[in-house]
Amino acid sequence: MPVSSENLLKAIKLMRENSSQRKFVQGIDLSINLRDIDPKKPEGRIDLDVALPHEVGKPYKVGVFGEGESVRKARDAGADLVLGRTDIETLKQDRKQAKKLADEFQFFLAQADFMVMIGKALGPVLGPRGKMPKPIPPTVGPKPLIDRLKKTLKVRTKDQPTLHAHIGVENMSDEELAANARAVLDAVEHKLEGLSKVRSIHLKATMGKPVRVEV
């Protein structure tokens, strides 16, 4: 049975009551604990890109691999960084810098003809992090893709059967937080073909106590 909007809003209200006022804006996280799933096996791994209806405070960083006209288009479209062939070769030789880049940026896009080169040079770094670039179709400008990714949340299992999703910050409205949580839950429910493999769901502010969401 899906999580009702009423239960989501009830949990968000209780979460706020259980969280003391801080001198900084706290983040809000959604945790989904799974059962009967082994994330160490390929069939047990979950890796989702969830387009959220509301930004979670600071937009996610998007890097673009390209050259020529693609560089101008990517910069005009709001890319946070544009990398060319020389940059890819440099990163291939500097694994430490490549890892730093992969950890700093949430998503990457690339000219379609760059994909093979990126796979060979940076696949060992980007692949395990689930951050291999998505190709930019030749007939599509990068702006709609970048705009969408800046509001897209990556939700994936690591070594434990738990999904963690940063769905917003405390100065967002209850309705905005609930809508973002709903987007994540719907994506997980679709992936798992129901919620039978969900053990529990919790909401938590950075410095607050976890609050269970009733299913």
- Residue 43: band (very low, low, confident or very high) from pLDDT cuts 50, 70, 90: confident
**Domain parsing of the chain, residue ranges:** 5-57+152-212, 62-149
- Same topology, domains 5-57+152-212 and 62-149? Answer is no
> What's the start-to-end Cα distance of the chain, in Å?
7
Dihedral sign (CA 116, 118, 122, 125) = negative
User: If you average pLDDT over every residue of the chain, what do you get?
Assistant: 91
Higher pLDDT, 185 or 140: 185
Higher pLDDT, 151 or 167: 167
Q: How far is CA 198 from CA 2, 14, 36, 202, in A?
A: 11, 21, 9, 11
Residue 57, pLDDT score: 77
Residue 39, pLDDT score: 85
- Residue 70: band (very low, low, confident or very high) from pLDDT cuts 50, 70, 90: confident
How far apart, in whole angstroms, are the C-alpha atoms of residue 97 and residue 202?
35
Proportion of the chain above pLDDT 70, given as a percent: 100
pLDDT digits (tens, 9 = 90+) for 159-177: 889 999 999 999 999 999 9
- For the cut 70, the answer to whether the pLDDT of residue 204 exceeds it is yes
How far apart, in whole angstroms, are the C-alpha atoms of residue 119 and residue 122?
6
CATH architecture classification, 5-57+152-212: 2-Layer Sandwich (3.30)
Residue 127, pLDDT score: 93
Superfamily of domain 62-149: Ribosomal protein L1/L10, domain II (3.40.50.790)
- Residue 1: band (very low, low, confident or very high) from pLDDT cuts 50, 70, 90: low
Least confident of 15-29, 80-94, 178-192: 15-29
Report which residue type is found at 84. Answer: G
